Amino acid sequence: MTRPIVTVIEVGKAVIDADTVYTEPVHFVVEDGIIREIGVGPYVPKTGERVDRYVRKGDRVAIPGLVNTHGHAAMTLLRGAGDDMPLMSWLHDRIFPIEARLTEECIYWGTLLASWEMLTSGTTTYTDMYMMMDRAAQAVAESGMRGVLSVGVVGLDEADRENGIRRSRDFVANWHGACDGRIQVTLGPHAPYTCPEDYLHEIAELASELGVGLQIHLSETRVEVDDCLGKTGLTPIALAERAGLFRVPTLAAHCVHVTDDDIEIMRANAVHVAHNPQSNLKLGSGVAPLPRMLERGLIVGLGTDGAASNNNLDMFEEMRLAATLHKGIHEDAQCVNAATAFRMASEMGAAACFQAQGAGALRVGSPCDMVLLDGKSPRMLPQHNLLSDVVYAVGAEDVRDVFVAGEMVVQNGEPLAIDTERVAYEVKRLRDRLQP
Amino acid sequence: MTRPIVTVIEVGKAVIDADTVYTEPVHFVVEDGIIREIGVGPYVPKTGERVDRYVRKGDRVAIPGLVNTHGHAAMTLLRGAGDDMPLMSWLHDRIFPIEARLTEECIYWGTLLASWEMLTSGTTTYTDMYMMMDRAAQAVAESGMRGVLSVGVVGLDEADRENGIRRSRDFVANWHGACDGRIQVTLGPHAPYTCPEDYLHEIAELASELGVGLQIHLSETRVEVDDCLGKTGLTPIALAERAGLFRVPTLAAHCVHVTDDDIEIMRANAVHVAHNPQSNLKLGSGVAPLPRMLERGLIVGLGTDGAASNNNLDMFEEMRLAATLHKGIHEDAQCVNAATAFRMASEMGAAACFQAQGAGALRVGSPCDMVLLDGKSPRMLPQHNLLSDVVYAVGAEDVRDVFVAGEMVVQNGEPLAIDTERVAYEVKRLRDRLQP
């Protein structure tokens, strides 16, 4: 039996979770990636206790690593390839032609670019639904992040359907639980408008057989909902329920155009939601009824969506936007408070994408996914309320060091396991090949 | 006659204005703070030409310094003092009690904190309406920023009115045009609900006499508009027009709840607007009809508002929010495109706060207010469209160097003329005294 690796991290202040803030120095004792002990003041070793690594950052503020509950990582390669366009012409004239040229190396380098951007802006866990996912998983394995990955599948013809099932089955077999559990796999039926009802049913059966959850786009645009109602008489969410999709744990992205009945279906079936406020605005999709979903007790995380529709992967922006957008829309400054937004970006987000209990917080027993912010940032001055500063003022520019499962993966703003010069070189090379 | 100081700045790429992007190396020749020449490639000195200073930053992307057209700088001291509260209880229970304790040194250190935050996040010009403004002006003089400053005045009793007029007159005399024009002064009537109509008239007369413009809050909240309609039968904007306010150049902040008639009044009177999307959301004020104001040809800049209602002074966030928010609200992805948002944050913003022709751009003849972004940022990869990247992806974290009037004021992320350790010490000391 090998002895566990013990790391001690000392910081100046810490936000443990949305309800617990230390405004004094704190130390964390981390054992094999799990927080075993939290104490005020510097760490004092007990007799016989051995510490393998010390990290002493007295001028940092620790917060849980942020959780990005929806995205398509390798779409970083399409960042800025089309903006300010109507959705259909954006998809058909810009996105699809480039996507048709994507190769395995595009997925690998694009996902590394996304990991670089996410880690250095404070995200430690992300979800992904895209193509050629073995290469995405390889990038996640190398970068040190946590990923909840899925092969995006569509079922518009028989070949697609069979491919989707086979690839999903293989991907679960090869990667679910890999890298000491850092990589988890779900199934990824794209949406009801690309997956017919019987195919959704088949995918739910497969998820059930394999013991995994699934992620899907639901009710992102008004047109999608109207089309579905026209064709089936049901909203996409009611249709997904009828297909039996919700009998397995489901993370539904967007949910912008949802009725109260849809929300009730999601509540009754414990469907989780990924709220993507910036993408929903930028694509002209609309504003999701987040306050109603929270009132009804849904588990809601926040997501950036892909970098073609955002156009960055900054979860501080999503957290701030989730906290402010609905106040403005409802003309109610009390709507979605700082603690709620923080919870969605951390612990509730982790729950939304099926992470273990305690994930997304820094409590004893939580995995040590931790971000250290610059305690000397002007955005943290004068510091009347540290949680408010983190939600409403701090940005990616204040992220300094990042740990995933107790391993340091970003130090003083630089990723340790990603060769950023190489990534920059490769994605520029690939860009020139992607232009139609 | 002294010889002009000549600075040459070489960069890897440059956004000159919303319509002009260089994706190749560019050099700028700056003479006494004004851009005299722009050329592709490295600078080659002509015979007899003397250069005093070279700045060679081949891995940087130059953009115009951003312009923050509305705020209350020293309110950084109130950052996070109250959030998620109804407007009236926020004002009366949190903001006003703290403001009553503000002293001259609070204004000085609070404004330096704001300058530190703004400069290092890429803002070179800002507007300010607050109290004890001599100390704010002193901070601006030292920090190296450009400021359009005003004494905020209210006219609820005779003493207030007289004080406001006297202080405004003195402030214009002492500071308008100071620091080689970096500091400009306007009058600052707070709002129609704090300045009766005859007082607005008196202030307009004073502005006309002194040859300065004015800045004012107009139609920020629904309650304000309804109260004004109830008391006078006019909207705040119609009332301000009747008071003769718009006979002098006016910058109107917020304009959230405005009618088509209001917009027509503003258009006919060439009233400029400061759109503050994040503050308007966070305080639950609502969403201004920006697309209609732009369609009607109004000059609209962007602003952060004070750090008590935002809670940061990051103009990249405002630019991105202005470009995305209205797309979402109108469910139209073509609404407020990247070039328009960029223009509002730069050249149109400079025009909105009465800067000279050419300000807010990097053309020949423009003042050299320039921000150098990290060209190696992951947010600029793979770079299909540099302007899109600047508007939709880049953040304060990518700001490296900043020039105002050709003087370097931020180098590698650090302000050169602000003692940030001292500012941090002083604002923490002052915070403890401000708590009620």
- The two tokens of residue A350 are 């982790």
CATH number at residue B393: 2.30.40.10
CATH number at residue B186: 3.20.20.140
Q: Measuring CA to CA, how many Å separate B120 from each of B117, B139, B204, B237, B371?
A: 5, 16, 35, 35, 9
**A58 plus A118 within the same structural domain:** no
In-domain check, residue B423: no
Of A332, A352, A372, which residue is a domain's last?
A352
**A60 plus A70 within the same structural domain:** no
- The two tokens of residue A99 are 């996507």
Q: Measuring CA to CA, how many Å separate B11 from each of A226, A429, B7, B53, B60?
A: 50, 22, 13, 14, 5
How many percent of chain B have pLDDT more than 90?
96
Cα–Cα distance measured from residue B205 to residue B213, given in angstroms and rounded to the nearest whole number: 11
In-domain check, residue A433: no
In-domain check, residue B135: yes
**A111 plus A256 within the same structural domain:** yes
**A102 plus A239 within the same structural domain:** yes
**B87 plus B203 within the same structural domain:** yes
Per-residue pLDDT for A87 more than 90?
no
Mean pLDDT lowest among A315-324, B90-99, B221-230, B249-258: B90-99
Task: Count the neighbouring beta carbons within 10 Å of the beta carbon of residue B263.
Answer: 21
Reported as type and span, the H/E element at residue A97 is helix A96-99
- The two tokens of residue B106 are 């609070």
A336: CB partners within 8 A, 6+ apart: A290, A291, A294, A322, A323, A326, A327
pLDDT band at B413 (very low <50, low <70, confident <90, very high): very high
Mark yes or no for CB contact B327/A283 under 8 Å.
Answer: yes
CB B76 within 8 A of CB B427: yes
Of B352, B371, B390, which residue is a domain's last?
B352
**B220 plus B346 within the same structural domain:** yes
Of A80, A338, A385, the CB nearest to B388: A80
Per-residue pLDDT for A394 more than 80?
yes
Burial degree of B376 (CB within 10 A; 0-12, 13-18, 19+): middle
How many percent of chain A have pLDDT more than 90?
96
pLDDT band at B436 (very low <50, low <70, confident <90, very high): low
In-domain check, residue A333: yes
Of B315, B333, B352, which residue is a domain's last?
B352
Cα–Cα distance measured from residue A408 to residue A138, given in angstroms and rounded to the nearest whole number: 19
Which ranges of B144-246 does DSSP label H, i.e. alpha helix?
A: 158-175, 197-210, 222-232, 236-242
CA-only gyration radius of chain A, Å: 21
Each residue's pLDDT tens digit, A13-54: 999 999 999 999 999 999 999 999 999 999 998 888 899 999
- In this prediction, residue A436 carries a pLDDT of 65
Per-residue pLDDT for A418 more than 90?
yes
**A246 plus A348 within the same structural domain:** yes
Closest CA relative to residue B325, chosen from B361, B359, B281, B388:
B281
In-domain check, residue A177: yes
Q: How many CB pairs under 8 A join A and B?
A: 224
- The two tokens of residue A8 are 């001690």
Residues of B in contact with A430 (CB under 8 A): 382
Each residue's pLDDT tens digit, A219-239: 999 999 999 999 999 999 999
Strands, E assignment, A32-82:
34-40, 53-64, 66-68
Each residue's pLDDT tens digit, B297-353: 999 999 999 999 999 999 999 999 999 999 999 999 999 999 999 999 999 999 999
- In this prediction, residue A1 carries a pLDDT of 57
Task: Count the neighbouring beta carbons within 10 Å of the beta carbon of residue A406.
Answer: 21
Of B80, B278, B394, the CB nearest to A388: B80
- The two tokens of residue B228 are 């004004």
- In this prediction, residue A3 carries a pLDDT of 87
Residues of B in contact with A376 (CB under 8 A): 420, 424
CA-only gyration radius of chain B, Å: 21
**A306 plus A384 within the same structural domain:** no
**A138 plus A260 within the same structural domain:** yes
Closest CA relative to residue B401, chosen from B60, B74, B114, B100:
B60
| B241 Cα to chain A: minimum distance (Å) | 27
**B108 plus B226 within the same structural domain:** yes
- In this prediction, residue A299 carries a pLDDT of 98
| A147 Cα to chain B: minimum distance (Å) | 19
Q: Between helices A104-120 and A133-143, what is the axis angle to 10°?
A: 40
DSSP code per residue over B218-243? ES-SHHHHHHHHHHHSS-HHHHHHHT
In-domain check, residue A1: no
What mean pLDDT is reported for chain A? 97
Q: How many CA atoms lie less than 13 Å away from A320 in the CB half-sphere?
A: 27
Mean pLDDT lowest among A76-90, A321-335, B169-183, B267-281: A76-90
How many percent of chain B have pLDDT more than 70?
100
- In this prediction, residue A389 carries a pLDDT of 98
| B3 Cα to chain A: minimum distance (Å) | 39
- In this prediction, residue A334 carries a pLDDT of 96
**B56 plus B77 within the same structural domain:** no
Whether chain B has a CB inside 8 Å of the CB on A436: the answer is no
Number of domains in chain B: 2
Range of the domain at A42: 6-65+362-415
Report whether A220 belongs to an annotated binding site. yes
Mean pLDDT lowest among A8-12, A44-48, A348-352: A44-48
**A196 plus A281 within the same structural domain:** yes
Instruction: Pick the residue from chain A with its C-alpha nearest to B385.
Output: A80
- In this prediction, residue A2 carries a pLDDT of 77
In-domain check, residue B420: no
Per-residue pLDDT for A206 more than 80?
yes
What ipTM was estimated for this complex? 0.97
B211: CB partners within 8 A, 6+ apart: none
Start-to-end C-alpha separation, chain A: 56
SS3 at position B333: coil
In-domain check, residue A292: yes
- In this prediction, residue B2 carries a pLDDT of 77
Mark yes or no for CB contact B80/A117 under 8 Å.
Answer: no
Q: Measuring CA to CA, how many Å separate A36 from each of A27, A54, A365?
A: 11, 15, 6
Cα–Cα distance measured from residue B34 to residue B36, given in angstroms and rounded to the nearest whole number: 6
Of A83, A287, A395, the CB nearest to B397: A395
Closest CA relative to residue B353, chosen from B150, B144, B170:
B150
Mean pLDDT lowest among A5-9, A18-22, A46-50, A157-161: A46-50
